[in-house]
Amino acid sequence: MLEMLSYDFMQRSLLAAMLVGAMCSVIGVFVVLRGLAFVGAGTAHAAFAGVALAYLVGLPPLPLAIAFGLATVWLTGVMEEKGRMKLDVSIGILYTATMALAILFIGLMKGYNAEVYGYLFGSVLSVTPEELGIILALSLLVLGAILTFSKELYFIAFDQEMAEASGVPARRIFYLLLTLVALTVVVSLKTVGAILVFAMVLIPASTAYQLTHSLSHMTAYSVGIGISCATGGVMLSYLWDLPSGPAIVLLATAVFLLSVLLSPKRLRRAGLAAS
Amino acid sequence: MAKTIIRFSHATFGFHDVLALKDISLEVSEGEFVGVIGPNGSGKTTLCRAVLGLLRPLEGSLQIFDCACEQLRCHHRARIGYLPQKGALDRNFPITVLETVMMGRYGVLGLFHRPRKRDREIALEALVNVGMQDHRDTALGDLSGGQQQRVLIARALAQQPQVLLLDEPTTGIDITTQHSVLELIRRLHQELGLTVLLITHDINMIRPLVDRLVLLKTRLFAAGPPDEVLKPDLLSQVYGKELVITEKDLVIVEDYHHHR
């Protein structure tokens, strides 16, 4: 089993999985607590539309994916603030519209482009050294920003108006959070794919949510679960010759289901209700 | 004569042509306990948001401390401890009592400053002040409604504020707990010398506590000691048919429905 660690590509993919696992699971805490799950899922599809457009016109995919991702989250943020329409409706429209754009761009391409599908389904085992460099740089940026603004991010997740009222620039922090969500999604696109990336954001944090009633513990558990599932999934994918994205996500889902069954919170509440 | 710390002069507030408060002139001095009363939709919460600097006056001016509040995001906010109207707190939100109270330090610290040992001490002291020190590691969601109010008051105290601004602190908790929460506020007012602005629909409950009452219904109808404000002619102008005054001079505003 240890022989897999001797291959360059395995070292790269394990490192990539670890970084993506860490980044997704930390941002996931704020996404879950601030109720932005659907926003992130929409962003993943928008970013994929950016990738498709890049391949269509022959530009590098990363900048366009970032541009599409950012445009979507910011638009969603504005819509939430204005509150003219229910958020799930407006995101639902954005989500499907960007997916339609992606399909349109793919349809306009001449012939079949396997690389584009790599972004849709993820292929961590084929991460190149350059891609690993980009993942490393962007994940350090995202994690650094979260660390720097963690107290403000926790505060707006708990109660944005109360945060604003006590002098925290809550609105700007909210947009920072949206921006970090978009960057996380884009960076993870190549690893787990547009369809599955959001599972990596939601599952570790929701699993941790089941297990504790403390913010700091929730974050620590989430990161532990995120990194373990991402690297564990890569290993399973190598050992059993499975596609990496689904291996990671299904492993995480299994851990999540286990946490729901064994949730101390749920058991305690059930105990309180029974007594 | 105590220093004036909040001064509305002919201030008007509203959104999109709907005026929530019109031509308000009011001064609050340091150390005063002021109760703000009025029916639903009378602009009580708007007054609160204005003091917090979340709203800019459309006309007139509002000064808090030495600050004219032209800038919406204003440094004075950290000096006002705010207890928001009790919304539905998500009982599953994973946060401990101490983590909740520590959030009171975040605005004061400002960006790029991490909480230190001293901030933790201030938070623990705030918990002692509200009598919740034994629950610091309890989940906020596991506490009763009254205990949660105490913790949120401790969060406001952790800001080491000069002003305590409380929006309907007794709504949604049972009557015994209401009394103990108000007793806590009275004690904090006296012991910590805080200026208290308490917004409520429950006139009877706060009447014995306040120095002054402010009677609102979009305009400011009266401001003064309870005996001057709680006069049938004044009250009936504001409350109309919902007002009943019993023989023992108790004011009962009927049928209060909490819209939120």
Residue pLDDT, tens place only, A180-234? 999 999 999 888 888 888 899 999 999 999 999 999 999 999 999 999 999 999 9
* B226 lies within 8 A of chain A by CB: no
Task: Check pLDDT > 60 for residue A275.
Answer: no
Distance CA A119, CA A54 (A): 12
Give the Cβ contact number of residue B213 at 10 Å: 24
CB contact under 8 A, A167 and B92: no
Q: What's the confidence (pLDDT) of residue B249?
A: 62
CA angle A140–A19–A15, rounded 5-degree value: 120
CB contact under 8 A, A158 and B84: no
Q: What's the confidence (pLDDT) of residue A82?
A: 81
Of B94, B106, B141, nearest to A152 by CB-CB distance is B106
A170-192 and A114-121 helices, crossing angle to 10°? 120
* Greater model confidence, A141 or A264: A141
Element (H, E) at A228: helix A215-240
Nearest to B165 by CA among B185, B144, B143: B185
ipTM for the predicted complex comes to 0.87
Element (H, E) at A275: none
Q: What's the confidence (pLDDT) of residue B237?
A: 84
| Contact of A127 with A135, CB cutoff 8 Å | yes
The SS3 of residue B205 is helix
Q: What's the confidence (pLDDT) of residue B258?
A: 46
Q: How distant is the Cα of B100 from the closest Cα of chain A, in angstroms?
A: 9
The rounded Cα A108 to chain-centroid distance in angstroms is: 28
Mutation choice for A interface testing from B16, B99, B138, B162 by most A CBs within 10 A: B99
Q: What's the confidence (pLDDT) of residue B252?
A: 60
Closest residue in B to A264 (Cα) is B92
pLDDT 10s digits, A138-182: 999 999 999 999 999 999 999 988 898 888 999 999 999 999 999
Distance CA B177, CA B187 (A): 15
| Radius of gyration in angstroms for the set of CA atoms belonging to chain A, rounded to a whole number | 19
| Contact of B98 with B127, CB cutoff 8 Å | yes
Residues B71-95, buried b or exposed e (16+ Cβ, 10 A)?
eeebebbbbbbbbbbbeebeeebbb
Cβ-based interface (< 8 Å): residues of A facing B: 33, 148-149, 151-152, 154-155, 158-159, 161-169, 209, 212-218, 265
CA distances from A30 to A20, A163, A216, A255, B75 (A): 16, 15, 12, 20, 26
Q: What's the confidence (pLDDT) of residue A90?
A: 81
Amino acid at A127: V
Distance CA B234, CA B225 (A): 13
Sort out which chain A residues have CB atoms less than 8 A from B104's CB and list them. Answer: 166
| Contact of A181 with A188, CB cutoff 8 Å | no
Mean pLDDT is lowest, of A1-10, A20-29, B207-216, B250-259, for B250-259
Q: What's the confidence (pLDDT) of residue A126?
A: 85
* Greater model confidence, B74 or A44: A44
| Contact of A27 with A81, CB cutoff 8 Å | no
The average confidence (pLDDT) of chain A is 90
* Percentage of residues of chain A with pLDDT beyond 90: 64
CB contact under 8 A, B107 and A168: yes
The β-bridge partners of A150 are none
Q: What's the confidence (pLDDT) of residue A3?
A: 81
B175-192 and B145-157 helices, crossing angle to 10°? 20
Q: What is the pLDDT along chain B (260 residues), one digit of tens a residue?
A: 678 889 999 999 988 778 899 999 999 999 999 999 988 888 998 999 899 888 889 999 888 887 665 555 556 677 899 998 877 677 889 999 999 999 999 989 989 999 999 999 999 999 999 999 999 999 999 999 899 999 999 999 999 999 999 999 988 888 888 999 999 999 999 999 999 999 998 888 888 999 999 999 999 999 999 989 888 888 888 887 667 776 666 666 655 444 43
Q: What's the confidence (pLDDT) of residue B199?
A: 94
* B16 lies within 8 A of chain A by CB: no
Q: What's the confidence (pLDDT) of residue B122?
A: 96
Of B77, B140, B142, nearest to A166 by CB-CB distance is B77
Distance CA A35, CA A26 (A): 15
Average pLDDT value for residue range A92-98: 88
Phi-psi region of B83 (alpha: psi -120 to 50; beta: other; left: phi over 0): beta
**pLDDT band at residue A72 under the 50/70/90 scheme:** very high
